[in-house]
Amino acid sequence: AQSVSQHNHHVILSEAASLELGCNYSYGGTVNLFWYVQYPGQHLQLLLKYFSGDPLVKGIKGFEAEFIKSKFSFNLRKPSVQWSDTAEYFCAVNTGGFKTIFGAGTRLFVKA
Protein backbone atom coordinates (compact mmCIF):
# COMPACT_ATOMS: atom_id res chain seq x y z
CA ALA A 1 0.00 0.00 0.00
CA GLN A 2 1.12 3.53 -0.66
CA SER A 3 2.43 5.43 2.34
CA VAL A 4 3.98 8.75 3.26
CA SER A 5 6.66 9.11 5.94
CA GLN A 6 7.61 12.33 7.64
CA HIS A 7 10.79 11.76 9.56
CA ASN A 8 10.45 14.27 12.35
CA HIS A 9 7.37 14.61 14.51
CA HIS A 10 8.68 17.72 16.26
CA VAL A 11 11.30 20.28 15.24
CA ILE A 12 12.45 23.23 17.34
CA LEU A 13 14.48 25.98 15.69
CA SER A 14 15.60 29.48 16.53
CA GLU A 15 14.65 32.35 14.25
CA ALA A 16 16.91 32.69 11.18
CA ALA A 17 17.87 29.01 11.28
CA SER A 18 17.49 26.98 8.12
CA LEU A 19 14.71 24.41 7.87
CA GLU A 20 14.46 21.09 6.11
CA LEU A 21 11.55 18.74 6.73
CA GLY A 22 11.80 15.28 5.28
CA CYS A 23 9.10 13.48 3.33
CA ASN A 24 9.38 10.10 1.67
CA TYR A 25 6.69 8.13 -0.10
CA SER A 26 6.36 4.56 -1.25
CA TYR A 27 5.10 4.33 -4.83
CA GLY A 28 7.01 3.63 -8.02
CA GLY A 29 4.80 5.39 -10.54
CA THR A 30 3.81 8.96 -11.35
CA VAL A 31 3.03 11.04 -8.28
CA ASN A 32 1.60 14.43 -7.46
CA LEU A 33 3.12 15.89 -4.31
CA PHE A 34 1.87 18.50 -1.87
CA TRP A 35 2.88 20.26 1.31
CA TYR A 36 0.07 21.63 3.44
CA VAL A 37 0.46 23.78 6.54
CA GLN A 38 -1.78 24.39 9.53
CA TYR A 39 -0.99 27.53 11.51
CA PRO A 40 -2.30 27.65 15.10
CA GLY A 41 -6.06 28.18 15.06
CA GLN A 42 -6.30 28.12 11.27
CA HIS A 43 -7.40 25.68 8.58
CA LEU A 44 -5.11 23.38 6.67
CA GLN A 45 -3.89 25.26 3.60
CA LEU A 46 -1.66 24.55 0.62
CA LEU A 47 1.97 25.60 0.86
CA LEU A 48 3.15 24.24 -2.50
CA LYS A 49 2.62 21.40 -4.95
CA TYR A 50 4.45 19.52 -7.67
CA PHE A 51 3.05 17.46 -10.52
CA SER A 52 5.47 17.95 -13.41
CA GLY A 53 8.32 20.07 -14.74
CA ASP A 54 11.05 21.66 -12.64
CA PRO A 55 11.55 19.42 -9.59
CA LEU A 56 12.34 22.46 -7.46
CA VAL A 57 9.03 24.02 -6.52
CA LYS A 58 8.59 27.38 -4.86
CA GLY A 59 5.63 28.06 -2.62
CA ILE A 60 4.26 30.80 -0.44
CA LYS A 61 6.18 32.55 2.35
CA GLY A 62 9.63 31.63 1.02
CA PHE A 63 9.18 27.86 1.19
CA GLU A 64 10.46 25.51 -1.49
CA ALA A 65 10.54 21.76 -1.98
CA GLU A 66 12.61 19.49 -4.17
CA PHE A 67 11.28 16.34 -5.78
CA ILE A 68 14.00 13.69 -6.05
CA LYS A 69 12.46 10.78 -7.91
CA SER A 70 15.35 8.37 -7.27
CA LYS A 71 14.99 8.89 -3.53
CA PHE A 72 11.17 8.98 -3.48
CA SER A 73 11.50 12.22 -1.55
CA PHE A 74 9.89 15.65 -1.48
CA ASN A 75 11.66 17.57 1.27
CA LEU A 76 10.49 21.01 2.34
CA ARG A 77 13.04 23.78 2.88
CA LYS A 78 13.27 27.37 3.98
CA PRO A 79 16.62 29.17 4.32
CA SER A 80 15.66 31.34 7.27
CA VAL A 81 12.63 30.63 9.46
CA GLN A 82 10.58 33.19 11.32
CA TRP A 83 8.56 32.92 14.50
CA SER A 84 5.42 33.08 12.34
CA ASP A 85 6.39 29.78 10.66
CA THR A 86 5.42 27.95 13.84
CA ALA A 87 2.85 25.46 12.55
CA GLU A 88 2.22 21.83 11.67
CA TYR A 89 3.38 20.75 8.22
CA PHE A 90 1.89 17.84 6.28
CA CYS A 91 3.33 16.14 3.23
CA ALA A 92 0.74 14.53 0.94
CA VAL A 93 0.96 12.31 -2.11
CA ASN A 94 -1.53 11.48 -4.85
CA THR A 95 -0.55 8.58 -7.07
CA GLY A 96 -2.83 9.48 -9.96
CA GLY A 97 -5.92 7.88 -8.51
CA PHE A 98 -8.56 9.53 -6.43
CA LYS A 99 -7.00 9.29 -3.01
CA THR A 100 -4.49 11.70 -1.49
CA ILE A 101 -2.46 10.19 1.34
CA PHE A 102 -1.16 12.44 4.10
CA GLY A 103 1.87 11.97 6.31
CA ALA A 104 1.57 12.15 10.08
CA GLY A 105 2.77 15.76 10.15
CA THR A 106 5.72 17.63 11.64
CA ARG A 107 5.19 20.21 14.34
CA LEU A 108 7.60 23.10 13.93
CA PHE A 109 8.21 25.49 16.79
CA VAL A 110 10.33 28.56 16.09
CA LYS A 111 11.81 30.33 19.10
CA ALA A 112 11.82 34.11 18.87
Contacts with other proteins, residue ranges (CB under 8 A): 4, 9, 32, 34, 36, 43-46, 49, 51, 90, 92, 94, 96-105
Alpha-carbon distance values, 55 to 16, 75, 108, 109, 110 (Å): 25, 11, 24, 27, 27
- The smaller minimum CB distance to other proteins, of residues 42 and 70, is found at 42
Report the 10 Å Cβ neighbour count for 22.
Answer: 15
Q: What is the phi/psi pair of residue 91, to 5°? A: -90, 140
- The smaller minimum CB distance to other proteins, of residues 30 and 80, is found at 30
Can you tell me whether residue 84 is helix, strand or coil?
helix
Distance of closest approach, residue 75 Cβ to other proteins, in angstroms: 17
Distance of closest approach, residue 13 Cβ to other proteins, in angstroms: 21
Distance of closest approach, residue 103 Cβ to other proteins, in angstroms: 5
Under 8 Å between Cβ of 4 and 102: yes
- The smaller minimum CB distance to other proteins, of residues 68 and 104, is found at 104
Distance of closest approach, residue 79 Cβ to other proteins, in angstroms: 25
Residues β-bridged to residue 26? 3
